[in-house]
Amino acid sequence: MSEPKKLFIKTYGCQMNVYDSERMAEALGGQGYVETKSPDDADMILLNTCHIREKAAEKVYSELGRFKGLKADKPDLKIGVAGCVAQAEGEEIMRRQPLVDLVVGPQSYHRLPEMEAKTREGEKALDTDFPEEDKFEKLKNRPKAKRGPTAFLTVQEGCDKFCAFCVVPYTRGAEVSRPADRIIREAQDLVERGVREITLLGQNVNAYHGAGPNGDMTLAGLIWELNKVDGLERIRFTTSHPNDMDDALIEAHGTCDKLMPYLHLPVQSGSDKILKRMNRSHTAESYLRLIERIRDARPDILMSGDFIVGFPEETDEDFQATLDLVEEVKYGYAYSFKYSTRPGTPAAERPQVDAEVADERLQRLQAMITRHQREIQDSMVGQTVSVLFEKPGRQTGQMVGKSEYLHAVHVSDADVLSGDLHRVRIKSSGANSLGGELV
């Protein structure tokens, strides 16, 4: 019996890329590949790339340069680039790095087996189309191996918002939602394999409008269908746009027991002028009133957000408006970045903020966010939370899991296993986690 071929995948970027990498591994599993954790003994290397951050393409070329020695020592080694950089760069990748054998965009992963076979014949393979067929249905079904207690499940891809700073509409395409019955089947399959919490993924997940039995179904409708899945204990979703947070979804946060009290709802700036230049189509005031409605529905909900600092033409007054919004919302988590130009986007052509000014603003914003995060985390001491345990902690006899609010929680000397769901009384608050004891 021949030895299986080995596949090494390096994943950059968001949770959707993590999900896509899993599916690519499954697709190539049908070609006799098994995953390896090291590129050194791989028969195929795939870089699943992200194009959101500055110089993303250059980082990929740098990574590819490190594989030249491997390719020289192992001529049969196949190297591929997938994901959003692949979609954006296309043939340029093969021109600049002749060692690359295949380039595949994020909508064409289901064609990987045919592309891999082509490379074995000594040909190059390039596919950055936006095919009409559903890649998820074409991909090989997930093998029935045991899974950890949490999993991602992509329900929607692409974006029609065209924010002035973002490349997603160009690399992932227009908004497309998967049919509800296929999502339910995949969720049931994950639960049968040990998953107890599912995070629904989409570039603009709350714009979900997938085909249902009685017409298009919204994200709220999908959540209520998933709520019926026996053995599924927790539901989350990310990433959302304020303009698509409809009444039914807000209500679900207050009435659906399996929907966790955590919501990632990016606003990007607190300045209406900057929001307009970003093409966000909402105001700071409308965002704050939306937060009020969500908290009315679920008072204990923990809010998370995204912020871009130093967007073109941002003044001190604009930045202060962002600080004011953050102070009012008090996020439990938030992700903040200094603006970086993305070629081909409208904002790239506008007057840029001085880098030192943007750095100083970012430090001030992050200090405020960190203070709020710590205050909220410290306030959990004395409370009882529900923890889904996932893995052993750093200390012997310790297990770590996530609360309903996504806080990392560890307990010591407790008889718990991965996948167990327990009530835990919080006793301490550390830098990045909470400590507690079973109730």
**Residues marked as binding?**
14, 50, 84, 159, 163, 166
Helix then strand then coil, in percent of the chain rounded to 5, is: 40, 25, 40
- CA angle 17-226-205, nearest 5°? 40
Contacts (Cβ under 8 Å, ≥6 apart) of 340 = 53, 54, 55
End-to-end CA distance of the chain: 52
Partners of 385 in beta bridges: 424
Sheet holding 125-127, edge to edge: 33-35, 5-11, 44-49, 78-82, 102-104, 125-127
Residue stretches of the annotated binding site for [4Fe-4S] cluster: 14, 50, 84, 159, 163, 166
User: Among residues 259, 385, 258, which one has the least CA distance to residue 250?
Assistant: 259
Say whether 187 sits in a helix, a strand or coil.
helix
- What tokens were used for 357? 């000014």
| DSSP state for residue 194 in the 8-state scheme | T
Whole-angstrom distance, CA of residue 230 vs CA of residue 225: 11
User: Among residues 249, 234, 232, 162, which one has the least CA distance to residue 203?
Assistant: 162
Whole-angstrom distance, CA of residue 177 vs CA of residue 209: 6
